[in-house]
Structure 1
Amino acid sequence: MAIDTTTETATPTPPLGTSRSPRMSTRDKLVLFVLCAAQFMVALDFSVLNVALPVLGADLGMSPSALQWAVTAFALPSGGFLLLFGRIGDLYGRRKLFLTGLALFAAASVLATFAWDPASFLTGRAMQGLGAAVIVPTGMSLLTTTFAEGPARDRALGISGTLMSLGFTIGVVAGGVLTDALGWRSTMGLLAVFALVVLPLAPGLLPESRTPNRPHLDVPGAITVTGGLLSLIYALTTAADDGFARADVIATLIAGLALLAAFAVVESRTESPLVSLPMLRRRTVAWGNLGGLVTFSMMSTVVFVLTLYLQEVLGLSAWETGLVFGVQGVMSVLAGSLTPRFISRLGARRILVVSLAGQGAFGVALLFLNAHVWSVWLVTAAVSLASMFHLGAIISYGLTVTSGVPDEEQGLATGLVTSTQQVGITIGIPLLGVLATTSGDLLSGTRTVLALDAAIVLAAAALIAVGLRTGRTAGSGESGSGAVEAEPVGSR
């Protein structure tokens, strides 16, 4: 039977992972399996379809320009509605919303698998994106409210972060294998199978949690932030293929920035804001999310330009390119098992800074690649080691942002974490990746992008180190999650 903590009169149920035993109980592991499997499934969806797009387009009669919508139809709702659904979960029940998102994602994946024309396929993709926008923030907030802050949460977030990173990598490899063997529909069918396996397990395992004293939903804030995110994501994903010169890209970019500015004004004046401005002024939230934005945007750019480099400059096949990034996935798993241990000793904020510095340093090593085939070994080694630090940054920025946040605001905090992730993945390629494809010389363009990428990551590491240096450790010190007091940005 599921644990119910939805009423103020109910006897509080201790978070999982608080027993004296350092090991997780069987129930702990099952809860973690359900939550991580759902996050892995969504991460897989971001990349599994990419290599199948040409085959899909030929089968459904979609033009090359229309294929962009196979990605955009998912990216728009998955990024635009994250904050809204994270907050709705806080107010009305995270477990309930999580199950709804899983059911929607399963139905959408079945529709996309059996799509008979472009309209039905894009409808399925949009529904998948909406389901992902529900699953990701509610799943993350269920994890952070279910596992007690400290070693239990560190370990749970470490496993979750590892599987999310692995999902992106496996998606690229699995997409190519499945498309060659079974056709593009098998990539969507794989997602349907995942959802249909997880969905029956979740109701009896996951505890319900929500804010006992339910405030009103901030409708003006919800409209402005959702509209702003949708506009920005549309502009950036479109610019990745067609550049920033198109009128609709410019218009939606301006509209997105204007709506986000209006959102800030609305939140400063409402009694029950969708996003608490004091929360955004917490050092851990502000600097932690900057770290997440940088690590996701810059690593997605590296993977994009190196995929082009390996195939167009070195002449590797899609399968051989997948193997290179498969090594990256293995190293990410290793990093996922080690990072929580380092965090328990050094604290999340220190690991965040070290991880960004490491990611940037191995980015610098990639500047030595050239047109000789032996460079594939440099790429494999440097990207794999950079990915270990990247995974460390993913885990530590999530812990930095959510540590010390009250349970009733965990959906909001994890919504910010996942929004940062989605925006980061979205902006890296259009802002930097296009330099490689428009420079005229792909090798020279790749080096330029990698140099800028490394410089941005190293600069961010330095800024975050300075920004968090005045944060005082909370409670018993900076053990476990390395929690830092919620000190407003700009104080002292």
Structure 2
Amino acid sequence: MTLAASPPRSRPDLLLVLLAGAQFLVVLNTSIVNVALPAIGQDLDLTPTGLAWIVNAYLIAFGALLPLGGRLTDLLGHRTAFLAGLLVFAAGSLAASLSAGPTALIAARAVQGIGAALLSPASLAILLAQWPPGPARGKALGIWGAASAAGGAAGVLLSGVLTSALGWWAIFAISALLALPGLIATLLLLTRSERKPTARLDVPGALIVTAGLTLLVYGLGAKDATPLPDFVLPAAGMLLLSVLMPIERRAKDPLLPPSLLRNRSTATGNLLMLLLGAVWVATFFFLPLYQQKILGYTPLEAGLTQLPLAAALTAASWGAGRLRGTLLPGLLVLAAGLLWLARLPADGAFLPDLLGPSLLIGAGLGLAFVPLTALGIEGAEPQHAGTAGGLINTSRQVGGALGLAVLTSLAAPAAGRAAPALAALAHGYRRALVATALIALLAAAGAGIRLLRGRNRTSTTAAAPSGHS
């Protein structure tokens, strides 16, 4: 039996602001540390591998727990999950701002990721429940996507401004402060949402998918942190994930419903989002480091010079909610921008070397992100809205964590072999950016194949009646 009411539609504009703001906060914290990484590393005496874990602690907790967060959203109710996620996220942000050592900071970042794993699928589930399929939902998704895009870009800018003015601790304090009005708005705008009291949580499925994703991503990024051979932890993660589907088929209330996984749009959307996530996180990781370590920018300068990228990303995301067919062009534009950026010289300047590729990268990310989100949730039944939202976000975040783990490893050997040191470091970053562009091209190839298959199915359907006449 289904209980209670969904959030009211009486003030849909304010509700959309709340949902978009929550997603803004979630994505903000994937990039807000990037410009501050050199300052954090100097203050806490962290190695480059340790710095990557300031980013990955959030991404791993977020990505690994998103399937569970999405399922809890469906079981507990959208409002309960949204409110709980916002509270945990605010607590993690406050703890991160007060951290006095690397262990405490990494743990606080993981707590932020736990809160985000509830908050993000809950916000998307509420949006799907309140805006039915059609142009209105497309516009709402465009605004939600624009907020997500703005969060990634604004993180870089805020990181530069706050680190320069107050110190790196302020980049986490701002997230805790921004969560407060969200908590108040949640209590005012959202009533008790739908839940299924007779459904049960699939505990074996939740444990397997969380442990499997954690081992996979941690194993790829922690090559110097364990005495085990490099392949052991990733292999263990893959082994755990491989037994998930047989268990889910026998579960009464599976964590990942088979009907959702059999949906072709869901499968394609999540696969391509995995690739886009790798590109997204790697771009916002390597670009600020290149600007500061190679070009000599201050944190503030690094943030300000990414304003064009932020504007292009936000505008393209907003526009993608109102247009059709932006996925393939967006991925091709993104790949072109990354290849252009990879030619950035060690003595490069903003106008001739950074502005053009930044605009292309921002536009490409925005044009691809919104249609991929829509594709990943297309066809999901209402009772599985949270799960679908959790799954598409899982693909993005796990893709980001996997991509960062692989690409940082790819960049490091190149930087270690060449000389002098500055040129070696620049060579390593450029190598990682080229690999990132290739990932974008791979995603574009997948989008192109889907487009061709869709056209072939349409042609076959249209031709069928004449064949029987």
Q: What TM-score does the superposition give when structure 2 sets the normalisation length?
A: 0.86
Which of 252, 276, 296 aligns to 2:277? It is 296
Q: Deviations over 1:170-189 (max 9, x none)?
A: 21221222122222322221
The alignment partner of 1:274 has SS state of coil
Which whole-Å CA distance do the structure 1 matches of 2:102 and 2:337 have between them? 41
Structure 2 counterpart SS, 1:342:
coil
C-alpha distance in structure 2 between counterparts of 1:114 and 1:218, whole Å: 36
Q: Does 1:431 align with 2:406?
A: yes
Deviation at 1:406, TM superposition (A): 1.3
Residue by residue over 1:222-278, the C-alpha shift from the partner in whole angstroms, topping out at 9 and shown as x without a partner, is 111111112123223435xx49x9627533212211110111221233343211233
Alignment partners' CA distance in 2, 1:340 and 1:71: 29
Deviation at 1:111, TM superposition (A): 2.9
Among 351, 354, 357, the alignment partner of 1:379 is 354
Q: 1:122 to 1:383 in 2, by over 3 A?
A: closer
Distance 1:401 1:15, change over 3 A: farther
What's 2:12 paired with? 28
Match 1:177 to one of 149, 153, 161: 161
Q: Structure 1: how far apart are the matches of 2:227 and 2:116? A: 29
- Of 273-282 and 252-261, deviating more is 273-282
SS at match of 2:362: helix
- Evaluate the alpha carbon distance shift between residue 156 and residue 248 of structure 1 in structure 2; reply closer, same or farther with a 3 A threshold: farther
Question: Percentage identity across aligned positions?
Answer: 35
User: What is the aligned partner in structure 2 of residue 411 from structure 1?
Assistant: 386
Partner of 1:487: none
* Deviation of the 1:196 alpha carbon: 1.0
SS at match of 1:247: coil
Q: Displacement of 1:212 after TM fit?
A: 4.4
* Alignment gaps of 5+ in structure 2: 419-423, 459-469
Q: Unpaired runs of 5+ in structure 1?
A: 17-24, 344-349, 478-492
CA contact (8 A) 1:327 1:384 kept: yes
* 4+ aligned runs moved over 6 Å, structure 1: 12-15
Distance 1:73 1:305 in 2: 17
Q: Do 2:309 and 2:359's aligned partners in 1 also have CA atoms closer than 8 Å?
A: yes
Q: Distance in 1 between matches of 2:234 and 2:83?
A: 34
Give deviations 1:271-314, integer Å, cap 9, x for gaps: 43211233223221111112212222123323433334334444
Aligned counterpart for 1:363 among listed residues 330, 335, 338 = 338
CA distance in 1 between counterparts of 2:92 and 2:284 reads: 28
Q: Structure 1 residues 421-430 or 308-317, which shifts more?
A: 308-317
- Match runs of 1:118-129 below 5 Å: 120-129=104-113
Amino acid at match of 2:445: A
User: TM-score, normalized by length of structure 1?
Assistant: 0.82
Provide the rounded CA distance (Å) in 2 between the counterparts of 1:299 and 1:193: 26
Q: Residue 56 of structure 2 contacts residue 401 of structure 2 at CA under 8 Å; is this kept in 1? A: no
Structure-2 separation of matches of 1:106 and 1:303:
23
CA RMSD of aligned residues (A): 3.0
Q: 1:50 to 1:367 in 2, by over 3 A?
A: closer
Structure 1 window deviating more from structure 2 (119-128 vs 277-286): it is 119-128
User: Alignment partner of 2:222: what SS?
Assistant: helix
The one of 59, 77, 83 equivalent to 1:99 is 83
Answer yes or no: is 1:275 the counterpart of 2:256: yes
- Is 1:191 the equivalent of 2:175? yes
**Superposed, which structure 2 residues align to 1:132-171 within 5 Å?**
132-171=116-155
Residue in 1 aligned with 2:436? 453
Take 1:164 and 1:446, find their aligned partners in 2: how far apart are those partners? 26
**What SS class does the counterpart of residue 428 from structure 1 fall into?**
helix
Of 382-391 and 28-37, deviating more is: 382-391
C-alpha separation between the residues in 1 aligned to 2:303 and 2:27? Answer: 17
Letter in 2 for 1:317: T
CA distance in structure 2 between the aligned counterparts of 1:204 and 1:464, rounded to whole angstroms:
41
| 1:407-442 residue CA offsets vs partner (Å, 9 max, x unmatched) | 111111111111011112112222234333321334
